[in-house]
Copies of this chain bind each other. A is one copy, B any other.
């Protein structure tokens, strides 16, 4: 299977690209290396010393067929179309988006960059495929954050909500009403609408993976060679909550919890991200279907419980802070993940792996932690 991975140099993209290559996919990564340049701009390099993309690709040759082309899909359609015409992908995995909610809320230029980059990237991809007459299966990384947290809707289903229309008393399945909590999350709602239209009008097979918060950094493959190491962000903008807390614990920084920490969120380990995407690639929906949605999550926890687990293991205390975000102080969260489970997904859970993660990555590089980037600068 020829698989194009857009954004394959990023935190999820890189381990997924390696995993797909190891499973026999012929992988071509496109990336504009935006995650590296943003890290420079916010003065927060990866905790782990990641190799250049050239060295990564060289080291990855032992794993499988994997190549790289520099391309900014949001701005360089000509190059994108050249590459598509030559590579003829069976599957396109689309990670090529600005993926930090706090970054998207920093200010005017970050709001505009996030919308411009994410929406034009997705539309350019789909429009180029129409132009070329190609119909690969498109696997898009969405987010659980598109759903919002609305108790009236019950357990969060996979993309679609069964309702009865009051006026007609007809039972219908509708696209789950989006209720994003940041500009970033909003772009994922927009992406879904875009892909839904392309699926309807041009017969694309689409899988949208509404992913939980990713934790961890290593997979079997990124551990297998120093130049394959994955990036690890612990700063207030790009560090996902569990990774931030783990890093803080290693340098004795009070564990940053916003508000009461009663926010329930869904989590998934980075190794499972790669496995789930491999499963999704192999299970396209039928042509003519609505986009297929899977909730790519392993388990649900409150931030407070996570922080307490880490505090208990490390002795570092929790530092409650005023919540810089507009979100409910406390919420319940129940999420279906039957789609991927029915395809064989068996999640890695926090209890199994939590301490291993601390030992393997954060301890190894703790001297590189820069205290000044720990707190988020975004307010909304």
Contacts and interface: CB of A to CB of B under 8 A. Distances in A.
Nearest to A156: B167
B124 A190 contact: no
A380 B201 contact: yes
Contact of A193 (B116, B130, B171, B178): B178
A190 B118 CA distance: 13
19 contacts: A107-B131, A108-B127, A108-B128, A112-B123, A115-B120, A115-B194, A116-B116, A116-B123, A119-B119, A119-B190, A152-B165, A152-B168, A152-B172, A154-B168, A155-B167, A164-B164, A186-B197, A189-B193, A193-B193
Copies of this chain, how many?
2
A85 interface: no
A152 B170 contact: yes
A39 interface: no
A50 interface: no
A36 to B, nearest CB: 25
A205 to B, nearest CB: 17
A178 B165 CA distance: 15
A51 interface: no
Top-7 shortest CB links A-B: A154-B167, A163-B163, A162-B166, A108-B131, A152-B170, A154-B168, A111-B127
Interface of A: 77, 107-108, 111-112, 115-116, 119-120, 123-124, 127-128, 130-131, 152-155, 157, 161-168, 170-172, 174-175, 177-178, 180, 183, 186, 189-190, 193-194, 197, 200-201, 326, 380
Contacts of A155: 167
Given A186-B197, A189-B193, 6 more contacts: A112-B124, A119-B119, A154-B167, A162-B167, A200-B326, A201-B326
A172 B176 CA distance: 13
B108 A115 contact: no
A153 B127 contact: no
A249 to B, nearest CB: 31
Residue of A163, A172, A189 with highest tally of chain B CB at under 10 A: A163
Contacts of A326: 200-201
Nearest to A105: B201
A121 to B, nearest CB: 11
Nearest to A151: B168
A162 B174 CA distance: 13
